Structure 1
Amino acid sequence: MGYELFAPAATIKIALHGMDREVKAEYLLVIQAKDMGGHMGGLSGTTTVTVTLTDINDNPPKFSKSLYEFVIPEDLPVGKMGGKVKADDRDIGENAKSTYNIIEGDNQGTFEIITDKQTQEGILRLKKPLDYEGKRAYILKVEATNVRSEASINAPFKDTATVKISVEDSDEPPVFSKPMYLLEVNENAPINTVIGTVTARDPDSSGSLVRYFIDRHTDLERQFNINVDDGKITLAKPLDRETDMWHNITVTATEVRNHSQISRAIVAIRVMDINDNAPEFADEYQAVLCENGKPGQVIQTVSAVDKDDPIQGHYFDYRLVPEMLNNPNFTIKNNQDNTISVLAKHDTFRRQKQETYFLPIIVTDNGNPPMSSTNTLTIRVCGCSKDGIVQSCNVEAYVLPIGLSMGALIAILACIILLLVVLFVTLRRHKNEPLIIKDDEDVRENIIRYDDEGGGEEDTEAFDIATLQNPDGINGYLPRKDIKPDLQFMPRAGQHSGPNGVDVDEFINVRLHEADNDPTAPPYDSIQIYGYEGRGSIAGSLSSLETASSDSDQNYDYLREWGPRFRRLGELYSVGESDRET
């Protein structure tokens, strides 16, 4: 290479042709400049110039090897990579980008090849599933090309390579003959009827046996069975189309040698209709007939429904029951649209005579065999206005006085309710009155009553009362006071006191004796009698009677002696009064 320098400016020119960036991409030049025309004595200076060659697309892509071999399992999913190829290009940037294509060996379009933009590799991918039993090897011819520049229009800018693909056998699940089966069965089919058959095979070359099962999650009521060996589906329970018209179950096929290889198919079973339901009225009709109606007027239009679904559609025949053919009151008319009209024959209907009529009607369908049912139409006779508006359907309305309005009836009813409420409150008030008569209402003899009832059983259970019994008392039989004796006690003849005064000792003793021995004296329940206060105490009595002055002329010793007896007598009278009030 040579350069020429011109003054005052220097121009660098290429002296040789055929410079190749792929051989040497950069040149460093040292340039010297001298003054005085380069003569002796002149001054000079130097500089460095870097010359970089730019790339043009003057190199074609080139595969690193002419044959690529890959082994791909037959169960490789569609879209997954099966191998990589790469064509190298000495150019850089856009000039080095290559495009890959399959030009031979894939007539069925099983594979495709795309370019990885990062690595400029050709990615071989699967477009269709592989079948080892169908085709075990593929030989493809792959081409890599890039865009040529004008400077090298005649240079070759593509390269080809051979790709050999071997399909590896895999254990595949069974394959059903159909992805979905449609079967039909009559709803009156007997149990064990064969509905249809499903088939599946093992696609592997070994050809394993297949077993069939029904997924019970899709047949919770276990209405169907399947033969595990041949896939025949049979009926296990009777079917009713009116309950379920379709049954969708899932059948699984499993390899005998490898139970993990399972495939599934949907079986849709359609239940075919038979005429097993009789038609019936579409509604519970309540027909109304006006008393002032005209003969021939339409009382009610009646239609029917049928749970069955015949292919040719429904057609219903209506007729009266045989015993009602000569019915003097009503007749029916066919409207030619699967409905009938019920007509009145006369205008002399009266509620006082008959309030309700029942009209039995037979409805028959057009099935094979035909089914029929008897339905009864209820017809009520009502009072209507001149315009045919129903006003009343009750017979009792005719026994009411003329001119009595609905408001008057409501007022009468309100009065009756009010009287019942007052009567109820009065009876309840009398019932809640206390049973015990107050003191001001007691007209019996004036007896002192002690309201303090004590502690009840707690008084007798808290202490041992045996020590309170009179040890000096008479030992012997004491009459029971908790039951009323049958014998009547004869009253004792009265004893009169002496003329000189009252003998208190004798009076009290007599009264106590009568009370203790009278079997008719109250109370009749058992009571504890505490008539004895002991033989005496060193401390003496605490009664206030003994606090009297010793200077008093009166002697109160008899009170200490007879006081307990008076208290005993008062207790007897008090308890008797309480028992009578209770």
Structure 2
Amino acid sequence: MIIQQVLLLLLLWMCLPHSCYAEMLFRRTTDHQQKGFVARVSGSDGKALHRQKRGWMWNQFFLLEEYTGSDYQYVGKLHSDQDKGDGSLKYILSGDGAGTLFIIDEKTGDIHATRRIDREEKAFYTLRAQAINRRTLRPVEPESEFVIKIHDINDNEPTFPEEIYTASVPEMSVVGTSVVQVTATDADDPSYGNSARVIYSILQGQPYFSVEPETGIIRTALPNMNRENREQYQVVIQAKDMGGQMGGLSGTTTVNITLTDVNDNPPRFPQNTIHLRIPESSPVGTAIGSVKATDADTGKNAEMEYRIVDGDGTDMFDIVTQKDTQEGIITVRKPLDYETRRLYTLKVEAENTHVDPRFYYLGPFKDTTIVKISVEDVDEPPVFSRSSYLFEVHEDIEVGTIIGTVMARDPDSASSPIRFSLDRHTDLDRIFNIHSGNGSIYTSKPLDREISQWHNLSVIAAEINNPKDTTRVSVYVRILDVNDNAPQFAVFYDTFVCENARAGQLIQTISAVDKDDPLGGQKFFFSLAAVNPNFTVQDNEDNTARILTRRNGFSRHEISTYFLPVVISDNDYPIQSSTGTLTIRVCTCDNRGNMQSCNAEALLLPAGLSTGALIAILLCIIILLVIVVLFAALKRQRKKEPLILSKEDIRDNIVSYNDEGGGEEDTQAFDIGTLRNPAAIEDKKLRRDIIPETLFIPRRTPSAPNNTDVRDFINQRLKEHDIDPSAPPYDSLATYAYEGNDSIAESLSSLESGTTEGDQNYDYLREWGPRFNKLAEMYGGGESDKDTS
């Protein structure tokens, strides 16, 4: 606006004589009822010349958004032709943002913006201006309205409404086939510059797909893309403003494209020639066998029909297409006679039922194979009661269970007995067997539906008198499912939790699979094997579950890995369950939860330690280790043989304490040497550390024979010490290692020495007597001895 005013002044100055002067003012235009620029020009003769400048509108100002200067941004200037410059007028501003966002100098009429303005929040502001007399406060001109329009800058990048798009296109599509259109929006002003002009480009997905720069339509870029080779594609599209020029802002989105199937593959027989056998006595409608072709397509594009197109047996046999299995079943159309014809040859064709005309150029969508049928001679062979048998049996039956019985008879008048057998070529794993006499088929191995759902057996019936004449019948065994497999994790989960995770945060979604196939469909339940303070599982009730955190924050320095057992159960009968363990690593993550590192940082040595200090520390550690080893070696050399050489010498629970006790005299409390050699029992000696009230002469216990149990011997000695007043108040059996000769150590007994003056207190017998009896029961054997061993 300022530039326009300067240009207008310069134009007036150039057009008028130098003696003239020009003054710009705002005033009301009466003839057009609008505001406009009015130039009042005065000549040298004093006459006023009035000239109205049409097309210049004063009532619109322009302001640049996102102004970053330190001072207030200048908007424009208001000036009345009544202003004489003496300060008698006062300019007043009102309307949108007046006084806060926009301020006016009431003396000069200069308007400023006080802060940065965002055009995307508001594109223009409507204000009203008025000039009043400062002394009388009366308006000198009517109130006038004007607009401040915000000029746009490129401060918004294009955005897509969806982060991920899903689309599909038929395989084998021609180049340029439209897949999907993506559209990005830009919040900048589309009417000003190129800030909102978006250009699309492809960052990922070439050379398979392309995108139109102006419209964002994604099209195929390669011909004849084959679903059988690759089905899924991921395309990344970029939208950039400023017409795609350098410096423009951009945004991206991902488009997952799936190639849908079309019928571009013909059926194919795996064999060029198929051999079948049929007895001549087979009735009309008997199924001889089946043929099956494969098709790389899916769904209806893989459906096919079988027909006999040529051969010398076209009038003798039929073929029926099984829709569910896509097999061709060959059956007998007319009675067979071995003497008339022994071999028939059929040409069987398989052709797709839904052919796409666009792919006729790929060739005929059919294939043929040769079927040779041998007619077997029979001399009135046995005749089965059915042309074929179908038995259904659950997979959890026990081995040896009869699953069904086939019956056959001899059509001859002699009615020869029939012997049944299984054709082992149809049961190579020997899962079934048959009673040769009554034709009952039973299992010889466990059944597993998950390994094989159908078993096609061939049962042979032969007359005992003429075993060469046989009749065969097909037995189809369908294995019914039982819930005998526990659900398991669908995949291996590599799970991690961020150190800065919050309680209730999702870290993994898990699912399960089950080899079983229940009629009502699979239904899994997820739970924890035990309450876990760190994680919990939330069942989504759609065969998936979410693993959530239960607390805030984890530290990989304290625990780097957690193991979370998850119990997965199904809803069939009987209910099966298994426990899968999730390994959850603790990792550092950024603010968006993206994993950065899961390895614990190495322990760093202090920075102040030099190489010499480290070497000195290592030498000190080595010297200490050498001293410890030498000390241990000297101690072993000085150690003498203990009194008890082996633990096998004592067969009961005798606790050994490593205290020295009272020296040689204290060993008289119990002579452990007696246990080692019961025949060498010495006479009891009176203890010198107590003063008995009466002299008690101990009884000599006869020596225990060598084959006597040590336990019985200990029981006998305990009973003697129960009534011995000279026995110490011990509640355990202490053993003392052999100290050696001439020990200088005094007695360490806590009891008063026998040489001490005064009477000995024998109240300890009443206090320790029950405990000693309990010890005797413990070490004496019996039932309690089993518990202590």
* CA radius of gyration, larger in: 1
TM-score (norm 1): 0.38
